[in-house]
Amino acid sequence: MFGFFKKKARAMQLHNLNAKEQNRQNAPQKPAGPALSANLEENLKIIRNTLGQSPDIIIRKFNFGPQYSYNAALVFVDGMVDKTIINENIIKPLMYDMHIVTGEHKFSLDNLGDLRNILLSVSDVRNITLFDEVFKRSLYGNTILLLDGFAAALDIDTKGWQARSVQEPSVEKVVRGPREGFTENMRFNTALLRRKILNPNMTIEQMVIGEQTRTNVAVAYLKGVTSPELVEEVKARLSRIKTDAILESGYIEQFIEDAPFSIFSTVGNTEKPDIAAARILEGRAAILVDGTPFVLTVPMLFIEGFQAAEDYYSRAYYASFVRLIRFMAFFLSILAPAVYVSLLTYHQEFIPTPLLITMALSVQGTPFPALVEALLMGVMFEILREGGLRLPQQVGQAVSIVGALVIGQAAVQAGLVDQTMIIVIAVTAVSSFLVVTHTDAATLLRFLLVLLAGALGAFGIVIGLLAVLVHLASLRSFGFPYLAPVAPLIIGDLKDSFIRAPLWTMIKRPQLIGNRNPTRQGEHLKPAPPEKN
């Protein structure tokens, strides 16, 4: 079945590629765009025409220099700039401090570079000559200084819009560990990453994706650790994206993933700099997208869903225990309702007699078959979950109370649903949140397996699980087998899979991803008390 979708996908991809190739051949070489002229008024007219009459586009004209002989204009977008910089570091030096530079001498401005070198006390200033750049930079929070008589302009970094400060992420909470999370501002995010890895090899490469939104996207990796082939592949896949808008990293994810028809995600994401840094240090690459706190990491392995940051911050015993619990919870969340349905409708002989009596008691008098009940309650739970998620917090609580009362008590008391089913669904619901990464896949699988169990019993469940297993084994994420280190079996990497071995035993990076620079640490790091003489 999956193979069918894959073939379709391949056919579509080929079709698209062909179309793209043809477009490329037909389209003429992209022109560099119109250049600035030496006439200020003309330039401003073009700018006004392009940017329109939007009230947030500010064009500030002023004169400066001896005898106010220089006509200048500043172009910036209100709200995106830090006005103090404009006032204190651009206008003020030009209007008031000019005489310090010129003194009694007659000042002649030969090129704009002089202004930049002598007068403007802003860190990032560069020369531009094209209108395209004027628009691009000013819309990104820079201020453009145009001067009459020059066919160029100065692009001055005055970015300073309101942004959410660094906060604790709401999804990946920790008891122990750093609480900072990525923000919507990509510059903050790259800084947060750099603060984790203070290494000159930490490389961030930036590009712009989105024909209309022109979103900044950055690829971060550690030179010498991340394999260059992976970085090339990531950049190639990113540069293939020709779309209108990138509003969230999810857009990128869906354009670069390996298995677009799989219910499993093959691109990881995180909201926490420490997790992103840890993945980069294992040899992965991170993709940061401006405007979202979710940073993508590739390649992603199935096992990553079960690894939490805290596993590495707390000691190995408890971390390993929690890992096993997570695996258990994952299987519980896919299998519990299906197994219950199959036991109830096909395999009553599997259940110990006292338990069967208890179950029969709770089933007694309920009108629906077990399959219908499981589907009904499963859908009900998803509705409540979705409702609780999207509503404002105060209303969300009301929804959950109504849900608890309606589902938990009323349905049972009215004899519509059996109690054990409620328990099964509740257990399923709670356990599906232990492995957040795979929650959506698990939810879909759960319904699929319930249907299979309802039609074919335990046989159906086994068929379903086998199909999923075969599918998982066939998945690749940026060329890396999805089920590693289990399939293919990599004994050394099992240290960080079902259990989390002590840190001093994990000498090597994950073998497949980190093979560019396999050794993580020295061999004799096992702590021990000082030897006595």
Partner 1 sequence: MRILHSYGKFTTIKVISLVLILMFALGGCWDRNELSSLAIATGAAFDKPQSKVGIDMTTQVINLDTLAPVAVHSTIAAPPYWNIKTTGQTVFDCIRNASQQSTHKLYWAHNQIIVFSEDLARESGVRQYLDFFLRDAEPRVSTWVLVSKGKASDILEMESKLEPIPAVNIASLIENRKYTGKASAVDLYEFSNRMLSEATAPVMSLIELVDENDEKIPLLSGTAVFNQDGKMIGTLNELETRGMLLAIDQFESGLLVVEAPDSKGQLGIEILNSSAKIKPQISDGRLKIKIDIKVSGSLGDANCYVDVLDENTWNSINQRQAEAIRRDILLSLKQARTLKADIFGFGDAVYKKYPQEWKKMKPDWEEIFPSLEVEIEAQTTLVRPNMILQSIKGKKEG
Name the token pair of 368. 């629906």
The region of 286-294, 365-373, 426-434, 498-506 touching partner 1 under the rule CB under 8 A is 365-373
- E-state strands within 136-294: 143-147, 153-156, 202-209, 215-222, 268-270, 285-289
Q: How many residues bind partner 1 (CB under 8 A)?
A: 27
Rounded CA-CA distance 480/464 in Å is 24
Place of tokens 């589902």: 407
The region of 210-218, 246-254, 304-312, 360-368 touching partner 1 under the rule CB under 8 A is 360-368
Q: Report, in Å, the least distance between residue 460 CB and partner 1.
A: 8
The conformation of residue 139, written as its DSSP 8-state character, comes to H
Of 157 and 373, which has the nearer Cβ to partner 1? 373
Name the token pair of 163. 């942004």
**366 binding partner 1? (CB under 8 A):** yes
Q: Report, in Å, the least distance between residue 482 CB and partner 1.
A: 22
Q: Report, in Å, the least distance between residue 9 CB and partner 1.
A: 14
The region of 115-123, 320-328, 362-370, 513-521 touching partner 1 under the rule CB under 8 A is 362-370
**344 binding partner 1? (CB under 8 A):** yes
Contact between residue 220 and residue 190 where contact means Cβ atoms under 8 Å apart? yes
The region of 130-138, 283-291, 347-355, 431-439 touching partner 1 under the rule CB under 8 A is 347-355
Of 360 and 499, which has the nearer Cβ to partner 1? 360
Instruction: Compute the half-sphere exposure of residue 360: CA atoms within 13 Å on the CB side of its CA.
Output: 9
**426 binding partner 1? (CB under 8 A):** no
**359 binding partner 1? (CB under 8 A):** yes
Q: Report, in Å, the least distance between residue 14 CB and partner 1.
A: 15
Give the residue, chosen from 306, 346, 478, 480, that forms a contact with partner 1 under the rule CB under 8 A. 346
Give the residue, chosen from 1, 32, 198, 389, that forms a contact with partner 1 under the rule CB under 8 A. 1
Q: What is the DSSP string of 460-487?
A: HHHHHHHHHHHHHHH-EETTEETTTTTT
**478 binding partner 1? (CB under 8 A):** no
* CB burial string 268-291: b at 16+ within 10 A, e below: bbbbbbbbbbbbbbbbbbbbbbbe
The region of 40-48, 105-113, 394-402, 452-460 touching partner 1 under the rule CB under 8 A is 452-460
Residue in 158, 221, 216 with CA at minimum distance from that of residue 187: 216
Name the token pair of 312. 């590495």
**474 binding partner 1? (CB under 8 A):** no
The region of 49-57, 203-211, 277-285, 338-346 touching partner 1 under the rule CB under 8 A is 338-346
Q: State the sign of the Cα–Cα–Cα–Cα dihedral 3, 513, 332, 367.
A: negative
Give the residue, chosen from 25, 108, 353, 393, that forms a contact with partner 1 under the rule CB under 8 A. 353
Give the residue, chosen from 31, 103, 200, 365, that forms a contact with partner 1 under the rule CB under 8 A. 365
The region of 109-117, 382-390, 457-465, 496-504 touching partner 1 under the rule CB under 8 A is 457-465
**14 binding partner 1? (CB under 8 A):** no
Rounded CA-CA distance 361/383 in Å is 28
**345 binding partner 1? (CB under 8 A):** yes
CA-CA distances (angstroms) from residue 193 to 66, 220, 520? Answer: 48, 9, 19
Question: Which residues in the 139-158 window bind partner 1 by CB under 8 A?
Answer: none
Q: Is 25 exposed, middle or buried (0-12, 13-18, 19+ CB in 10 A)?
A: exposed
- E-state strands within 97-158: 125-128, 143-147, 153-156
Give the residue, chosen from 349, 392, 531, 532, that forms a contact with partner 1 under the rule CB under 8 A. 349
Q: Report, in Å, the least distance between residue 6 CB and partner 1.
A: 11
Contact between residue 334 and residue 438 where contact means Cβ atoms under 8 Å apart? no
**360 binding partner 1? (CB under 8 A):** yes
**448 binding partner 1? (CB under 8 A):** no
Residue in 473, 442, 253 with CA at minimum distance from that of residue 337: 442
Q: Is 162 exposed, middle or buried (0-12, 13-18, 19+ CB in 10 A)?
A: exposed
Rounded CA-CA distance 226/204 in Å is 12
**455 binding partner 1? (CB under 8 A):** yes
Question: Which residues in the 368-387 window bind partner 1 by CB under 8 A?
Answer: 369-370
Each residue 163-202 as x (binds partner 1 by CB under 8 A) or -, in order, gives ----------------------------------------
Q: Is 56 exposed, middle or buried (0-12, 13-18, 19+ CB in 10 A)?
A: exposed
Of 369 and 488, which has the nearer Cβ to partner 1? 369
Rounded CA-CA distance 131/354 in Å is 81
The region of 94-102, 451-459, 472-480, 511-519 touching partner 1 under the rule CB under 8 A is 451-459
The number of helix segments (H) and strand segments (E) in the chain equals 20, 12
Of 361 and 383, which has the nearer Cβ to partner 1? 361
Q: Report, in Å, the least distance between residue 392 CB and partner 1.
A: 40
Give the residue, chosen from 212, 364, 393, 394, that forms a contact with partner 1 under the rule CB under 8 A. 364
Contact between residue 442 and residue 332 where contact means Cβ atoms under 8 Å apart? no
Rounded CA-CA distance 213/109 in Å is 37
**348 binding partner 1? (CB under 8 A):** yes
**339 binding partner 1? (CB under 8 A):** no
Question: Which residue ranges make up the site for partner 1 (CB under 8 A)?
Answer: 1, 3-4, 7, 344-346, 348-349, 353, 356-357, 359-361, 363-366, 369-370, 454-457, 459, 463
